[in-house]
Amino acid sequence: MPRIAEQARAARREQIIAAGLACFARAGYHTTTMADVAAQAGVSKGTPYLYFASKEGLFLALHEKWDCGAMERVEAAIAALPDADRASPRQVLHAVAAAVAAHVTAEPDTCRVLMEARALAAHEPAIAAAVQVSDTATHQQLKQLFAAGVSAGEWPEGTDPALAARLFTAGLYGLMAQWHLAPGSFSWDAAAAALAGSPAPHADGAAPGVGGSAAASAGTGEPPAVPVA
């Protein structure tokens, strides 16, 4: 019997999260109330508070849900790579970009909440802390990937791995924002390939392609850099 009760509670929690997702995606964080969430879920007004202490807590649960779902998809994409590709940092980066792109198109409402979280971080300390924790972990992993790629000769010597990681995530978030404003306006497959194929600026601030690197990129048929709005 306790097991059944535990399962029922977990199911109700997911019901509340799904209702919160629908409300936040439709009306935004500030306009949505917990009463709206209760109505969306078809439960009494007090029920959401049995699972989340506040609207902010529910919103943070959705942010975590995005992170977990995206990470699972990325890990599966990397695991599915052939051994030779999994040994290539550039191919792994392409798989990461493609997996995130697939998550964006599969979970558009959750992605919309993620994008709002980044805007809310400027004024909501708890949301800012969650975004910072997520960003720090992501940038550290990407920094290591870019560093490995530089060592393997897949990116130019002198490429700044930390800056490359930030440019990569900035490109992804910029594309997400554009996608939500104009769904279907570009190919995510092409965008993922471009993000993975674009060398970052050098650590000394020089633009990629100064001297021989531009010709090298053109000679290999790598896609050009994607400008971020």
Is position 134 within any domain?
yes
Share of the chain above pLDDT 70, in %: 85
Residue 4's pLDDT band (cuts 50, 70, 90)? low
Q: Is the pLDDT of residue 222 over 70?
A: no
226 in a domain, yes or no?
no
Name residues whose C-beta falls within 8 Å of residue 112's C-beta, 6 or more positions apart in sequence.
24, 25, 180
Do 196 and 143 share a structural domain?
yes
In a domain, 32, yes or no: yes
For the segment 135-157, the average pLDDT, to the nearest whole number, is 96
- Same domain? For 40 and 150 the reply is no
For residues 125 and 34, state if they share a domain: no
Asked if residue 33 and residue 145 are part of one domain, the reply reads no
Do 75 and 43 lie in one domain? The reply is no
Instruction: Give yes or no: residues 130 and 171 share one domain.
Output: yes
Asked if residue 177 belongs to a domain, the reply is: yes
Region of 201 please: left (phi>0), alpha (psi -120 to 50) or beta.
Answer: beta
Structural contact between residues 199 and 159, judged by C-beta atoms closer than 8 angstroms: yes
Does some domain include residue 228? no
In this structure, the answer to whether residues 37 and 123 fall within a common structural domain is: no
220 burial (CB, 10 Å; 0-12 / 13-18 / 19+) is exposed
DSSP of 132-199, one letter per residue? Answer: HHHHHHHHHHHHHHHHHHHHTTSS-TTB-HHHHHHHHHHHHHHHHHHHHHSTTSS-HHHHHHHHHHPP
69 and 47 part of one domain? no
What's the CATH number where 27 sits?
Answer: 1.10.10.60
In a domain, 225, yes or no: no
Summarised one tens digit per residue, pLDDT across range 42-66 is 999 999 999 999 999 999 999 998 8
Number of domains in the chain: 2
Which CATH number belongs to the domain containing residue 179 in this structure? 1.10.357.10
Q: Are residue 73 and residue 23 in the same domain, yes or no?
A: no
Q: What is the pLDDT of residues 160-206, one digit of tens each?
A: 999 999 999 999 999 999 998 898 899 998 998 898 884 444 444 44
Q: Is 106 inside a domain boundary?
A: yes
Nearest to 58 by CA among 8, 23, 89: 23
Residues 152, 155, 160, 166: is their CA dihedral positive or negative? negative
Domain that holds residue 23: 1-52
229 pLDDT more than 90: no
User: How far is the C-alpha of 206 from the C-alpha of 210, rounded, in Å?
Assistant: 7
Whether residues 4 and 100 fall in one domain: no
Residue 186 lies in a domain: yes
Residues 143 and 184 in one domain: yes
**CA-to-CA separations, 106 to 90, 128, 130, in angstroms, rounded:** 24, 25, 23
